[in-house]
Structure 1
Amino acid sequence: MEISILQQIKNKAGKLIESQLLKNAEVLDVRTWESSGLVELELHLPNVNMRDWNQVPYIKLRVDDFSFRDYTPFGWDAETNTCSVLIDADHQGPGSRWAKSLQKGDTVFYLATDSTRQSPHPTDCVVGLGDASSIGHLLALQQLTVPVSRFDSALVIDNPLTGQLLCENYSPALNTVPSLEELSVWLINQGYSTAHTWFYLIGNQQLVISLRRILKGMGHSNIRVKGFWS
């Protein structure tokens, strides 16, 4: 009983703190990508100045009581204070359950938006590499790369339907390959300049480590890394 009372006090204190710190956002639309496990949210963030987003941003969304996940906004419009968030919900966890439960018109809560401290090189070729968890990050990196013709990308995604959906919904489309081995072949075939190409590796920690090793073996040294999970 004593533990139960202490837990109740802790929960009440936590909710009080959350109510003072959290900000509101409205869900304008929810698009579930059938057979891919991806959920795309269109959000309205009235209290965020998106004109300051000159580096890839992130938003810390509350997905459950005292539970937060970082997601990357992309496709933002500073005039309307809207953006999209793409969530890989093809696994078990509070973030996946939360994303699948949302409907148009819902209010969601976030702790903060901030920068990932990652921005595209201002003049050289920019190449983003990752997996399904990094789609949003690469789309944000693509949005910041001007002109967009300097941007290229490839994702390791073994679901061909996801690759098809990326081609149909985004332009320029993100390239997809089914395995790390095929991504290695893809990189060789591109013939990127070692002096004027910058690589941005995002996603699963083991994938990022492997990609960095492959690129270094090809003579590349302009590499930026952001591992999400292990």
Structure 2
Amino acid sequence: MRPAHVAGVRTLSPHFRLVELEGEALENVAWTAGDKIQVAMGSGLSARTYTPMSWDAGNGRTRLLAFAHGDGPGSRWASGLRAGNACQFFGPRRSFDLADLGAPIVLFGDETSFGLAAALRDSLQAGGTLHVFEATDVAESRLVLDSIGLGQARLIARSADDTHLATAESELLRLAANGAQFVLTGKAPSIQRVGRTLKAAGVASSRIRAKAYWAPGKTGLD
């Protein structure tokens, strides 16, 4: 673990906080969009994984978008953060390789994918990325996306039986016909279903990158 401190916290909505970490351990670090860090949750042994939105290696700063939902360690950590708080982290480390992606790129995900979306927007020279997100609270997610410059994203309201994924699949299949490459992130069952649909439609595996950030009933997905 390496030390850092919280340089600033901005509440974007009831469940989202924009967090800036600062410290010498963040300086002169090689980072690319999609890389992850793991932040210790208080004094315990548990850690949660975040995808930085940006990394300023010259000044030793990184920005995270923390999504506080439920009552787990990650939510309690994000909700209780204050400027000046100390923290410990691992990383950055490769999560998945997005460096060779070419336009058009479609990012599918959910609230846990917003940070990656911001990182890709700022780092890829691919003529832009299209975003399709499933979200529990569309109004709140729209507010947050507008705040971080992703206001053009397509938001689809979650349904309890996942029937909303048919809408997402239709949108992705339409974009697949234009030769899009796909980055699938967020909820594991959603990624699995969407990935199967794309492959069944003839989208080559080489055009699909996937990384689950969480799964129902499980904690600490890396």
Is TM (by shorter chain) over 0.5?
Answer: yes
Residue segments in structure 2 that go unaligned for 5+ positions in a row: 158-163, 216-222
TM-score by length of 1: 0.79
In structure 2, C-alpha distance between the alignment counterparts of 1:183 and 1:50, rounded to whole Å: 40
Once the two structures are superposed, residues 28-83 of structure 1 have per-residue CA deviations (whole angstroms, 9 ceiling, x without a partner) of: 21122334x12221111422346622352111100131111111111223332222
Residue from 131, 153, 170 that aligns with 1:185: 170
Letter in 2 for 1:68: A
Shift of residue 192, structure 1, vs aligned partner: 4.0
Instruction: Please show how residues 1-230 of structure 1 align to structure 2 within 5 Å.
Output: 22-35=1-14, 37-49=15-27, 52-64=30-42, 65-147=44-126, 149-173=127-151, 174-178=153-157, 179-190=164-175, 192-194=177-179, 197-221=180-204, 222-230=207-215
* Distance in 2 between residues matched to 1:40 and 1:57, nearest whole Å: 18
| TM-score normalised by L of structure 2 | 0.82
Q: Distance in 2 between matches of 1:206 and 1:151?
A: 23
Which structure shows the higher helix fraction? 1
**Secondary structure of 2:70's partner?**
coil
Structure 1, gaps ≥5 residues long: 1-21
* C-alpha RMSD over aligned residues: 2.1
Q: Aligned in 2, Cα 1:185/1:87: closer, same or farther, shift over 3 Å?
A: same
The count of aligned residue pairs is 205
Identity of aligned residues (%): 24
The 8 Å contact of residues 61 and 68 in structure 1, kept in 2 or not, is answered as yes
Moved over 4 A (4+): none
Larger Rg: 1
User: 1:103 and 1:125 mapped to 2: Cα distance?
Assistant: 39
